[in-house]
Amino acid sequence: MENPRSKGCANPAKPLKLLKKRNICTFYARLVAQHAILSKTGLVIALLSPHNSAQGMLGSRQRRLGITPDTRRDVAMRKTMADYRNIQARTSAGVRVDAGIDQGLRSYMLKVYNMMGIGLAVTGLAALAIVYLATTNDPSLAAAQMSNGKMLTSFGVVFYTSPLKWVVMLAPLAAVFFLSFRIEKMSVPAAQATFWVYAALVGLSLSTVFLVFTSGSIVQTFFITAASFGALSLYGYTTKRDLSGMGSFLFMGLIGILLAGLVNIFLQSSALQFAISAIGVLVFAGLTAYDTQSIKEMYYEGDSSDTYGRKAIMGALRLYLDFINMFMFLLQFLGNRN
Q: What is the pLDDT of residue 43?
A: 38
| pLDDT for position 312 | 94
Of 10-19, 143-152, 160-169, 267-276, which gets the smallest average pLDDT?
10-19
Full 3-state SS string of the chain:
CCCHHHHHHHCCCCCECCCCHHHHHHHHHHHHHHHHHHHHHHHHHHHCCCCCCHHHHHHHHHHHCCCCCCHHHHHHHHHHHHHHHHHHHHCHHHCCCHHHHHHHHHHHHHHHHHHHHHHHHHHHHHHHHHHHHHEECCHHHCCEEECCCCEECHHHHHHHHCCHHHHHHHHHHHHHHHHHHHCCCCCHHHHHHHHHHHHHHHHHHHCCHHHHECHHHHHHHHHHHHHHHHHHHHHHHHCCCCCCCHHHHHHHHHHHHHHHHHHHHHHCCHHHHHHHHHHHHHHHHHHHHHHHHHHHHHCCCCCCHHHHHHHHHHHHHHHHHHHHHHHHHHHHHHCCEC
Question: 49 pLDDT exceeds 90?
Answer: no
**pLDDT above 60 (res 197):** yes
Residue 70 reports pLDDT greater than 80: no
Band of residue 86 on the pLDDT scale cut at 50, 70, 90: low
Is the model's pLDDT at 122 over the cut of 50?
A: yes
The pLDDT tens digits of the residues spanning 200-244 come to 999 998 898 998 899 999 999 999 999 999 999 999 999 999 998
The Cα–Cα gap between 52 and 212 comes to 49
Contact 291, 319 (CB under 8 A): yes
CB 68 within 8 A of CB 330: no
Answer whether residue 10 shows pLDDT above 90.
no
What's the pLDDT score for residue 36?
53
pLDDT, average across residues 164-171: 87
Residue 182 pLDDT grade (very low, low, confident, very high; cuts 50, 70, 90): confident
Q: Which pLDDT band, with edges at 50, 70 and 90, does 29 fall under?
A: low
d(CA 125, CA 109): 24
Cβ-based neighbour number of residue 322 at 10 Å: 27
The answer on pLDDT for 65 being more than 50 is: no
- Of 44-48, 225-229, 247-251, 268-272, which gets the smallest average pLDDT? 44-48
Q: What is the pTM of this model?
A: 0.76
Strands 135-136 and 144-145: unpaired
pLDDT class of 3 with cuts at 50, 70, 90: very low
Using the predicted structure, report yes or no on whether residue 35 has a pLDDT greater than 70: no
Query: Given this model, what pLDDT does residue 40 score?
Result: 46
Q: How confident is the model at residue 267 (pLDDT cuts 50, 70, 90)?
A: confident
Is pLDDT larger for residue 268 or for residue 206? 206
